[in-house]
Amino acid sequence: MPRKLRRDLPEFSIRTAQEQGWSSFKNGQLLALAVEEFDVFVTIDQRMRHQQNLKELSIGIVVIDTRDTRFETIRAHVEELREAIARVRPGEVILVPRMS
């Protein structure tokens, strides 16, 4: 997730994997660490929801599912992202943008 996006989401405490010192960890390890410190894990890794048993986690997962990961593309969905972060529950996965 682009760091610049945190300016659009000031109501949330946002930390990147790099800022946490977790950039060398794989998905399973990242999730295990995130569960200890956060309520919600936001990712652009769309494969994670298929590779991990997320329903067993005590953390909500928000997957940014856009055509590319450029800041402008993700920022166009900031309201949907805000809503998803606020309402996701432990073990739940929400895709942003929501596909109907």
Q: Into how many domains does the chain fold?
A: 1
Q: Is the pLDDT of residue 71 over 80?
A: yes
Q: How confident is the model at residue 100 (pLDDT cuts 50, 70, 90)?
A: very low
Torsion sign over Cα 32, 37, 40, 46:
negative
- Rounded mean pLDDT of 31-43? 94
Nearest partner of 37 among 55, 21, 56, judged by Cα: 21
Q: Residue type for 15, please?
A: R
> Which range marks the domain in which residue 54 is found?
3-96
Share of the chain above pLDDT 70, in %: 97
Q: Is the pLDDT of residue 99 over 80?
A: no
Mean pLDDT rounded to a whole number for the chain: 90
CB 30 within 8 A of CB 50: no
pLDDT tens, 75-91?
999 999 999 999 999 99
